[in-house]
Amino acid sequence: MKKQPESPLPGLLDSFFSTGLTPVAALTQFVFACGAMGGFLFSHSLNIDEELGLFTPFDISAQGRFALKLLGEILQAPGVIPLAPYVMLAAAYIFTNNAIVSIHGLRHSWKPQLGFLIFILFPTNWLNQEYSGLAAGLALGLICTSTADLLTGDLIRHRRLQLHRSCHSVLIVALLVLALSTFQSQITVYLAIGMGVTLFSMSQAEGDRSEVSFRSLPIWLVHPHATLTVYTLS
């Protein structure tokens, strides 16, 4: 581990922008993301769920998804579905993909770009895009989860005082709780990235360094357990 300044922000920004993502590549990804949303972005008709949401006093926060309710109140005027949730989701796709590339220590090439296309075209994403409120929730959840992954990677790589490490962990848990308040399955996204980073680092390491990579696995597990505890009690 390397000794770093107490604030993780400079290191996070450096690692996030070290992937070689250019403005042209980001714009290209944004265009692909908008195209992948198809008719949901460019033409919209109310589905059954949205019609029920307009005229039925259903409180989605009763399911523990309070962030979805808040986003709906902020972004959706009564009876009108704006463009904002889909623009947010396209930007979140780019942010999350670059975070995944960064945390694995990779740089942008044709392989990560292909991975980005598979990521945005995944069938579950298509289903969530059908309802603009879910699209905004997915965007917020992905940003919070990928940021938590970046912070966890920074926590593993650098040595800090115990107080700052504890504050670091509290911030990670807070981000994951917010992510879970959109979709509870976001916890599996965090775990999947953590497992991928661990396996990737082990495959790249040799000898004792491989064991060090494996010993970072509990850090990826303790935060989800703490998050589920806080989320259940809140």
User: What whole-number distance in Å separates Cα of residue 97 and Cα of residue 115?
Assistant: 8
| CB-CB contact of 150 with 10 (8 Å) | no
Give the position of tokens 């309802």.
Answer: 131
> Rounded CA gap, 14 and 55, in Å?
48
Residues 10 and 205: their CA atoms lie apart, in Å, by 26
Q: How far apart are CA 16 and CA 6, in angstroms?
A: 18
When pLDDT is averaged across residues 70-89 and rounded to a whole number, the result is 68
78 band by pLDDT with thresholds 50, 70 and 90: very low
Give me the chain's average pLDDT, please.
78
Q: Which two tokens stand for residue 186?
A: 């976001």
Question: For 99-142, how does the pLDDT look when each residue is reduced to its tens digit (9 = 90+)?
Answer: 998 888 888 888 888 888 888 888 877 777 777 778 888 899 99
Helix intervals (H) in the chain:
9-16, 23-37, 39-42, 48-55, 66-75, 84-103, 110-120, 123-129, 132-157, 162-180, 186-204, 208-215, 217-233
The DSSP result for 139-158, as a single string, is HHHHHHHHHHHHHHHHHHHE
* Amino acid residing at 176: L
Mean pLDDT, residues 165-184 taken together: 90
Which tokens sit at 231? 């989320």
**Whether pLDDT at 13 is above 70:** no
Tokens of 113: 């770009």
Query: Which pLDDT score is estimated for 90?
Result: 92
| Alpha carbon 229 to chain centroid, angstroms | 20
Global confidence as pTM: 0.81
For residue 218, which amino acid is it?
A: P
Q: How far apart are CA 232 and CA 155, in angstroms?
A: 25
Alpha carbons within 13 angstroms on the beta-carbon side of residue 178 total 18
Report the alpha-carbon distance of residue 118 to residue 107 in Å, rounded.
18
Residue-wise pLDDT for 142-154, tens only, equals 999 999 999 998 8
Neighbouring C-alpha atoms within 13 Å toward the C-beta of 205: 17
